[in-house]
Chains A and B, each alone.
Chain A
Amino acid sequence: MEEVDVEPTTTPIPGVDSKQKHLGFVWGPGDILVYETIYKASGVSSGGCPFVHEVRKDEDIYSPILRKLFNESHHIFVGLQGVKEDLPSKNKKPQFVSISKNYRSVIRACMEELQQNAVSTQDATLATQYGNQVSILLAVELIWNLCEVLFIDAAPAGSLLLHLLDWVRLHKADVDEKARDVLQSESPTEHQAYWDVVISYVLQGRMDEARQVLMKQAALQPAARAMFKLLDNLLIKMPIFNPSGSQTLTEFDVKWRHWHEEVDRCLQDQSFASNPHLEVICKILVGDEDVLLDHKELLSTWYHFLVTRLLFSQPTVKPTELHYYAQSSMHMFLDTRSVPEPLDSIVLAAFEFDIHQVIKDCSIALNNWWFVAHLTDLLHHCKLLQSHNLHFGSNLREFLLLEYASGLFTHHSLWQLAVDYFDHCPEFGRVYLELQIERVPLDTERKALKVLRICEQRQMTEQVRSICKIMAKGALRNNRLGSALSWSIRAKDAAFATLISERFLQDYCANGAFSDLDLIDNLGPAMLLSDRLTFLGKYREFHRLYGEKCFLDAAKLLLSLMTAKIAPQSFWMTLLTDALPLLEQKEVIFSADQTHELMFCLEELTSEKSLPKPDATMQDEDIETTKIEILRLALARNLAMAIVKEGTVEV
């Protein structure tokens, strides 16, 4: 592959003297930050650093109008990926052509909106910006349309020229505007652009329209009526190939040659000698290249010249012959001194059927990857990249799609589109998505859930875990315990769930009430994530049972929390205190056995606590001692009642 030596662009950074200082930098999402610094350790203070500059690469994605282009082309892209591989290629072609047309109509719609904005805006710089974007899109559409004709539709001889004519007409639409001016003027025939309009129509092969305009002149010159009639006849009779008709290409060719000879005869006869305008038209019809080149102004581009030239000299041109006519047309049309513009080279490469060169030149010439990525993808689906013996064809597609999607990912909302592009890059799409998606800022719970869903759908377990962990950590930092707990359950982070459960219990001890009851009441099997969480859930269940006056169940649960060692021992005192009101009930709730077990728990606790805590105050200890005594008393009384009750035979 030929290396095009493209010089890197230099971006000036204001207020930094690169001769004296270094330029420090850091990569950001979608930008790069630079600042003045000195890396050599000098020890001498060099004054302050007033600025850090944010350097951006591509501002296209920040344009609200272009955003529509990205959004709508994304739909088309996704649809294209769904085109069944196993369809015979003959059936697929119309589908691909229609997809190509959809892409182009999105470009057109976008272009029109930009155009309107350019006209309506008051801001001059904005107007220029819109104008520039329009001209880029115009060029993009022009290239895309040509690629559609040549590569995707791949029209055969005959139809090929018809498509090329449509292409030229679409992109040289100013004729119609001019015609309107002329026809709406007071005396159209006197209008200075009158003959320009007639000739422009002829150059585009729009004979009916040319005749209509010519009629105005004919009506004013009764003397020359015969001459006008003759030209009108030639224009009417010009054969146009009809691909859907029964006529074969050879038949058409014969017919066309007859017509051509007839035109030529008129020229030889000097039939139009008295009217130079009509003579010029006749010379165009006969395909006189010098006369065509005299109308460079009206043709405006070499490829218009090419198509006009083919129309009047080679209407049955074959795709394989195009490159020859294209090259010679370009050389004939362009000044020998002038260097072809990038657009010229791209169009020429297309006529030469050098798809790869087209993509390459477009990548260099255009400021964003939108065009090359989508066009290459479509050509890839048409199996055109392989047939041109580019063994790296599929990599090229993926390379461009990855670049485009990575660009989208730097945008706060367009990143969601990028996900689908990554999904359709078999080699590196997944890794790119993993790297990019975990850096999407999780500003809100809603956004986090959106990112999470994308990761979950793709079984990106590590990213799922990480996002939940980050959210849990953030929620805890802001003291939103419930949210922290549910995120850590989602992250299956046992250590963190333990920590948060601990906090819940602390809060309960401090305030005597639980927050986030909904969450804790509905933990379900998630409760088993950590021991402390299990305890939290069960302990809350005890409170619920107690609240619902299911005292027997509540008592059973409370006891089991201690005997099954679900409750941390540090919490036993609280649990025993919770048992007090149950012990004080009129009804006997704890059985004798259960009371024994409670007593055992209390003893276990107090025996370990026998050593006085060094940091506990006298007052604290007094309270503690009183509590234990009250408990012992209550337990003993309950035991007595229970024994009496259990020893009594009901009658």
Chain B
Amino acid sequence: MFVARSIAADHRDLIHDVCYDFHGRRLATCSSDQSVKVWDKSETGEWMCTASWKTHSGSVWRVTWAHPEFGQVLASCSFDRTAAVWEEVVGESNDKKKGLCHWIKRTTLVDSRTSVTDVKFAPKHMGLILTTCSADGVVRIYEALDVMNISQWSMQQEISCKPSCSCISWNPSSSRAHAPMIAVGSDASSAAYSGRVHIYEYSEHTRKYTKAETLMTVTDPVRDLAFAPNLGRSFHLLAVATNDVRIFKLMPMRSEAMPSCSTTKLEVHILAQFDSHNSQVWRVTWNITSTLLASSGDDGCVRLWKANYMGNWKCTAILRGDGCPLNRACTQSAAPSTAVPYQHTLLPSSLAGRRNFS
């Protein structure tokens, strides 16, 4: 792996989140400088900032794109206790000539009384549904009443996950066999609560989300979690970032006696557990086909994990800061290196390209 290009992001404060759009041609970044920036990839592969605007009156924690079926839509959440939905509109004809697009706030979701820690769109087959979770431990599920006019959102449900929520993840499975499912992680540090990951499942019967499972083995604060793409499997994979990286296998055990009227019982197995970060882990994310899992931890590294065809997981790559403190000289040297020549390893001499295969 090699750094192919560095993008001058130009946020005035820490970047908290970067999100690719569905096709990987656009980026959204958000920062403590209260702004969100949108970047578009040019023909030559350069990233150009096409919009930058103040979105909140506090640090923006997360930013996420809706599926392009719903248009060019972003959601952001912030320390200012709100989440917001933004839509890009093409300007009037004279604007369009200049290629100017602008982002319009379609709604502000003000139900939370504390910092909104995560915001996620539900899988597209469910419609345009947005979920937020907040530091006071409430998960809120909103639905756009009319996908053609996304300024109207109604709250479908409020789920209490006391004492605090840090992250949410939708199960992406669109199989009819799987009811909509959402996992919620808590970063509560008090030992009074047991289990930091809760799984909620939608019941057609009650039209509500109810708790299907709590992962009791996760007892330390959870900072992030991520369902893997389903790949047509009968079970689900959930990666959890806590004081280590864990991968859980959730096997639905549908009871024969009560089909569809009760929530599915889940059989939970732990598939892998990595403590290589040797510390708190903050983020976990799967790649598109869930063949790779990436995690970031207190050791300042991003680690990539890969399973071989026998299902054994291994760390295959580490990304680590070069330790060079941020100063003029350093960033200047980093900036022009848009195409660092990559030294291919000579096979007969040294072998550096690694594959986790064994």
| A interface residue numbers (CB < 8 A to B) | 1-4, 6-39, 45-57, 59, 125-126, 128-129, 132-133, 135-136, 139-140, 341-343, 360, 363-369, 392, 395-396, 398-399, 402-403, 406, 428, 430-432, 435-436, 438-443, 462, 466, 469-470, 473-474, 477-479, 495-496, 499
Q: Is B9 an interface residue (CB 8 A)?
A: yes
Residues of chain A contacted by B33 (CB below 8 angstroms): 48
Q: When the two chains form their complex, are residues A47 and B320 in contact, meaning their CB atoms are under 8 A apart? A: no
Q: When the two chains form their complex, are residues B358 and A3 in contact, meaning their CB atoms are under 8 A apart? A: yes
Q: When the two chains form their complex, are residues A406 and B319 in contact, meaning their CB atoms are under 8 A apart? A: no
Q: Is B10 an interface residue (CB 8 A)?
A: yes
A396 to B352, CA, bound (A): 23
A sample of 25 cross-chain residue pairs with beta-carbon separation below 8 angstroms, ordered by A number, consists of: A6-B355, A9-B318, A14-B324, A15-B321, A16-B326, A17-B324, A18-B301, A23-B302, A24-B18, A24-B283, A25-B294, A36-B15, A37-B14, A38-B14, A49-B11, A49-B15, A54-B3, A125-B341, A342-B348, A343-B348, A360-B358, A392-B309, A402-B289, A439-B23, A442-B23
B78: shortest Cβ distance to chain A, in Å?
12
Q: Is B259 an interface residue (CB 8 A)?
A: no
Q: Is B126 an interface residue (CB 8 A)?
A: no
Residues of chain A contacted by B12 (CB below 8 angstroms): 48
A462 to B348, CA, bound (A): 48
A367: shortest Cβ distance to chain B, in Å?
4
Q: When the two chains form their complex, are residues B346 and A135 in contact, meaning their CB atoms are under 8 A apart? A: yes
A16: shortest Cβ distance to chain B, in Å?
3
A473 to B88, CA, bound (A): 12
A563 to B31, CA, bound (A): 59
Q: When the two chains form their complex, are residues A23 and B320 in contact, meaning their CB atoms are under 8 A apart? A: yes
Q: When the two chains form their complex, are residues A364 and B358 in contact, meaning their CB atoms are under 8 A apart? A: yes
| B interface residue numbers (CB < 8 A to A) | 1-20, 22-25, 27, 29, 31-33, 47, 68-72, 88-90, 96, 124-125, 147-148, 174, 223, 229, 231-232, 282-283, 285-289, 291-292, 294, 296-304, 308-310, 314-326, 330-331, 333-335, 337, 341-349, 351-358
Q: When the two chains form their complex, are residues B300 and A19 in contact, meaning their CB atoms are under 8 A apart? A: yes
Given A29-B288, A477-B72, answer yes or no on A54-B4 (Cβ-Cβ < 8 Å): yes
Which single residue of chain A is at the shortest CB-CB distance from B300? A18
Which residue of the partner chain, among A8, A129, A474, contacts B318 with CB atoms under 8 Å? A8
Residues of chain A contacted by B19 (CB below 8 angstroms): 26
Given A48-B12, A360-B358, answer yes or no on A11-B343 (Cβ-Cβ < 8 Å): no
A1 to B357, CA, bound (A): 11
Q: When the two chains form their complex, are residues A25 and B14 in contact, meaning their CB atoms are under 8 A apart? A: no
B164: shortest Cβ distance to chain A, in Å?
12
Which single residue of chain B is at the shortest CB-CB distance from A438? B22
Main secondary structure of the interface of A (DSSP, over half): mixed
For the complex of A and B, the 4 pairs showing the least CB-CB separation, nearest first, are A18-B300, A16-B321, A367-B353, A399-B309
A143 to B37, CA, bound (A): 50
Q: When the two chains form their complex, are residues B10 and A48 in contact, meaning their CB atoms are under 8 A apart? A: yes
Q: When the two chains form their complex, are residues A132 and B343 in contact, meaning their CB atoms are under 8 A apart? A: yes
Which residue of the partner chain, among A15, A46, A136, contacts B331 with CB atoms under 8 Å? A15
- Count of CB-CB pairs between chains A and B under 8 Å: 325
Residues of chain B contacted by A48 (CB below 8 angstroms): 10-14, 33
B330: shortest Cβ distance to chain A, in Å?
5
Given A11-B318, A342-B347, answer yes or no on A363-B287 (Cβ-Cβ < 8 Å): no
Given A341-B349, A403-B291, answer yes or no on A17-B18 (Cβ-Cβ < 8 Å): no
A37 to B326, CA, bound (A): 12
Residues of chain A contacted by B231 (CB below 8 angstroms): 428, 431-432, 435
A476: shortest Cβ distance to chain B, in Å?
9
Residues of chain A contacted by B309 (CB below 8 angstroms): 392, 395-396, 398-399
Residues of chain A contacted by B353 (CB below 8 angstroms): 9, 365-368
Q: When the two chains form their complex, are residues B357 and A367 in contact, meaning their CB atoms are under 8 A apart? A: no
Q: When the two chains form their complex, are residues B315 and A50 in contact, meaning their CB atoms are under 8 A apart? A: no
Q: When the two chains form their complex, are residues B322 and A13 in contact, meaning their CB atoms are under 8 A apart? A: yes
A148 to B9, CA, bound (A): 52
B140: shortest Cβ distance to chain A, in Å?
21
Q: When the two chains form their complex, are residues A435 and B229 in contact, meaning their CB atoms are under 8 A apart? A: yes
Residues of chain A contacted by B72 (CB below 8 angstroms): 477
Which single residue of chain A is at the shortest CB-CB distance from B39? A52
Q: When the two chains form their complex, are residues A11 and B320 in contact, meaning their CB atoms are under 8 A apart? A: yes
A373: shortest Cβ distance to chain B, in Å?
12
Q: When the two chains form their complex, are residues B90 and A478 in contact, meaning their CB atoms are under 8 A apart? A: yes
A4 to B316, CA, bound (A): 13
Q: When the two chains form their complex, are residues A441 and B24 in contact, meaning their CB atoms are under 8 A apart? A: yes
Extra contacts besides A25-B302, A135-B347, A392-B310 (6): CB < 8 Å: A10-B320, A15-B330, A22-B298, A139-B348, A406-B288, A436-B288
